[in-house]
Amino acid sequence: MSASAADTGWPRCWQQRTALSGVLWPLSRLFAAVSALRRAGYRHGLLRATRVGVPVVVVGNLTVGGAGKTPVIAALATALRQAGWQPGVISRGYGGRGGRRGSLPVHADSDPVQCGDEPVLLARLTGCPVQVGRDRAQAARDLLSAHAAVDVLLSDDGLQHLALARDVELVVVDARRWGNGLLLPAGPLREPVSRQRDATLGPAAVLAEIAGGGRHFAIDRHLGDITHLTSGERLNPEEFAARYAGQSLGALAGIGHPGQFFAMLRAAGLAVQGAAVGDHQALREADFSRFPPACPVLVTEKDAIKSAHLPPALRQRMWVAGLRLNLPADLLPWLEHKLENARGLPTS
């Protein structure tokens, strides 16, 4: 994988149109036809979508790999709770071994090997009930059965999981935009950019270059506090930069767009050497050999969850960089209006 591919999480032929993406283009047309037939089946009632009795908000992305959905869901859940709602979160639990034939509840201390890293992170960040399962409709029913007070569900991804009826669809986009603009396997798109949705969320500079996609809401991602993994010592970015000024710093990221994490650290004045690992993969001892011995290593909150297996000496070098975002002031009122209109729809 080239350096640029490592930073974006995508091969070069997905970032721009190359000879290889041209060769794969006929397969992308087949993928588009199959996807369109499936959507038509739900639209015309040949396939049935399940309603679960509370409003459902799907937060997803059109491309392969993460685009920053997890912090968006965490921020939405927090904002909804502060506004008086009782949100719950459902997820497929990508990378987890559990929930294959049913669904699993997820808690802040759950094993990410069983239920996936992002659901555990969402349970920790939000304090909301979280349920994972390949069948999101079943996961929704199980969560509501266990938590009768929940009155709105946030679905972590699931734009293509049409078996669960939804009331609001939010698409998150990051600095990679739509890559080369082609569908799988010639490009990173799982669905056409023209796909109907209620709103698109992303950085203001990115949204300015995107047409359509419903309402546009600009979200501001920024570096939060940096916490030592084992001691719990918490520093703001300025304090951390001052403490380690002039020292070598490493950064590891096993997320969909690792370059975005490294850029955020550098924008905060941290001179890090970044190294990407596979999305959803646990950190390995060998990953730390890329940096000078004993130098501090910054990791994402998602990667920190998967670090329990590492030797104590490596864990003592790790600092967890929090990612936070500011929601625009007009997003929550707009969303609440849609949720109020969706209240009371019958269960199916």
In a domain, 332, yes or no: yes
In a domain, 103, yes or no: no
Distance between CA atoms of residues 67 and 172, nearest Å: 6
In a domain, 248, yes or no: yes
Number of domains observed in the structure of the chain: 2
If asked whether residues 316 and 246 sit together in one domain, one would say: yes
Please give the sequence-ordered ranges of beta strands (E in DSSP) within the chain, or none if there are none: 56-60, 87-91, 104-106, 130-132, 152-156, 168-172, 199-202, 215-218, 220-228, 234-235, 249-253, 272-276, 297-300, 318-326
Query: What is the DSSP annotation of 278-302?
Result: -TTPPP-GGGGGGS-TT--EEEEHH
Place of tokens 């096993």: 254
Q: What is the pLDDT of residue 101?
A: 65
In a domain, 173, yes or no: yes
If asked whether residues 188 and 272 sit together in one domain, one would say: no
Cβ(295)–Cβ(271) under 8 Å? no
If asked whether residues 190 and 263 sit together in one domain, one would say: no
pLDDT classification of 346: cutoffs 50, 70, 90: low
Structure tokens at 9: 């999480």
Q: What is the pLDDT of residue 128?
A: 97
Range of lowest pLDDT (225-229, 253-257, 287-291, 297-301)? 253-257
Q: What is the pLDDT of residue 9?
A: 80
Question: Cα–Cα–Cα angle for 58, 64, 70, nearest 5°?
Answer: 45
Q: Which of 222, 229, 221, 235 is CA-nearest to residue 299?
A: 229
What CATH number is given to the structural domain containing 160?
Answer: 3.40.50
If asked whether residues 338 and 269 sit together in one domain, one would say: no
SS3 at position 18: coil
Place of tokens 């969320």: 201
Global pTM reads 0.91
Element (DSSP H or E) covering residue 144:
helix 136-146
Q: Which of 174, 164, 168 is CA-nearest to residue 331?
A: 168
pLDDT classification of 1: cutoffs 50, 70, 90: very low
In a domain, 293, yes or no: yes
Do you find a cis peptide bond into 87, omega within 30 degrees of 0?
A: no
Distance between CA atoms of residues 191 and 200, nearest Å: 14
What residues pair up with 221 in beta bridges, in sequence order? Answer: 325
Query: Among 36-45, 92-101, 310-319, which range has the highest average pLDDT?
Result: 310-319
If asked whether residues 172 and 228 sit together in one domain, one would say: no
Q: What percent of the chain has pLDDT over 90?
A: 80
In a domain, 118, yes or no: no
Cβ(257)–Cβ(263) under 8 Å? no
Its domain, for residue 58, covers: 32-85+151-219+327-342
If asked whether residues 230 and 300 sit together in one domain, one would say: yes
Cβ(252)–Cβ(260) under 8 Å? no
Distance between CA atoms of residues 152 and 10, nearest Å: 34
If asked whether residues 195 and 318 sit together in one domain, one would say: no
If asked whether residues 177 and 262 sit together in one domain, one would say: no
Structure tokens at 181: 């603009």
Q: Which of 263, 293, 267 is CA-nearest to residue 276?
A: 263
Structure tokens at 87: 């949100």
Range of lowest pLDDT (3-12, 114-123, 205-214)? 3-12
SS3 at position 197: coil
To the nearest 5 percent, what fractions of the chain are helix, strand and coil? Answer: 35, 20, 45
Distance between CA atoms of residues 216 and 301, nearest Å: 27
Q: Which residues, including other chains, have CB under 8 Å from residue 124's CB and lie 6 or more apart?
A: 108, 305
pLDDT tens for 157-203 read 889 999 999 999 999 999 999 999 999 999 999 999 999 999 999 99
Once rounded to an integer, what is the mean pLDDT over residues 281-288? 92
The sheet with strand 220-228 has its strands ordered as 234-235, 220-228, 318-326, 297-300, 249-253, 272-276
If asked whether residues 256 and 210 sit together in one domain, one would say: no
Distance between CA atoms of residues 180 and 242, nearest Å: 40
In a domain, 122, yes or no: no
If asked whether residues 320 and 258 sit together in one domain, one would say: yes
Cβ(132)–Cβ(139) under 8 Å? yes
If asked whether residues 42 and 173 sit together in one domain, one would say: yes
If asked whether residues 53 and 174 sit together in one domain, one would say: yes
In a domain, 174, yes or no: yes
Residue type present at position 50? T
